Amino acid sequence: MPIGKIATFDEGSINGSIEYSTLLKSTKVSSENRELLYTFYAEKKPIKAYIVIITETRDLTTKWRLWLNNFSLTKEFKPIDTVKVGGSYYNLNIYDVTHLAREGKNEFVVSHSSIEGIWVHIINSVLFYEVPEFKTNYKLRAGIYLIQPSEEIELDGEGKNYIVIRNPNKSILKVVNSTGTVTTIGGSLDSDEIEVKGHLSIIHESSQRSPAFLFLHYSENSITPNISINVSGKIGRDNKAVITLYNDGEVDLDKVLLNAMLNGVTIHFKSFDNIKIGQKINYEFFVPKKGNVHLRIVGVKSGFRKILDKDLEWETA
Closest listed residue to residue 87, CA positions, set 115, 66, 116: 116
pLDDT for 88 equals 94
Cβ density class 15-47: b for 16+ within 10 Å, e for less? ebbbbbbbbbebbebeeeeeebebebebbeebe
Based on the fold, state whether residues 185 and 268 are members of the same structural domain: no
Among the three residues 181, 201, 223, which one is the final residue of a domain in this structure?
Answer: 223
Based on the fold, state whether residues 217 and 233 are members of the same structural domain: no
**What is the domain extent for residue 119?**
3-223
Total of domains in the chain: 2
pLDDT for 82 equals 96
Among the three residues 198, 223, 248, which one is the final residue of a domain in this structure?
Answer: 223
- What digits encode the pLDDT tens for the residues 30-78? 999 999 999 999 989 999 999 999 999 999 889 999 999 999 999 989 9
The answer to whether the beta carbons of residues 131 and 43 sit under 8 Å apart is no
Based on the fold, state whether residues 219 and 238 are members of the same structural domain: no
For the segment 222-242, the average pLDDT, to the nearest whole number, is: 90
pLDDT for 285 equals 94
pLDDT of 157 above 80: no
Q: What is the CATH number of the domain that holds 78?
A: 2.60.120.1200
Structure pTM? 0.83
Among the three residues 223, 239, 257, which one is the final residue of a domain in this structure?
Answer: 223
- What digits encode the pLDDT tens for the residues 168-181? 999 999 999 878 77
pLDDT of 239 above 70: yes
pLDDT of 303 above 80: no
- What digits encode the pLDDT tens for the residues 125-135? 999 999 888 89
Measured CA distances, 232 to 78, 256, 284, 309 (Å) = 55, 15, 12, 11
Based on the fold, state whether residues 84 and 134 are members of the same structural domain: yes
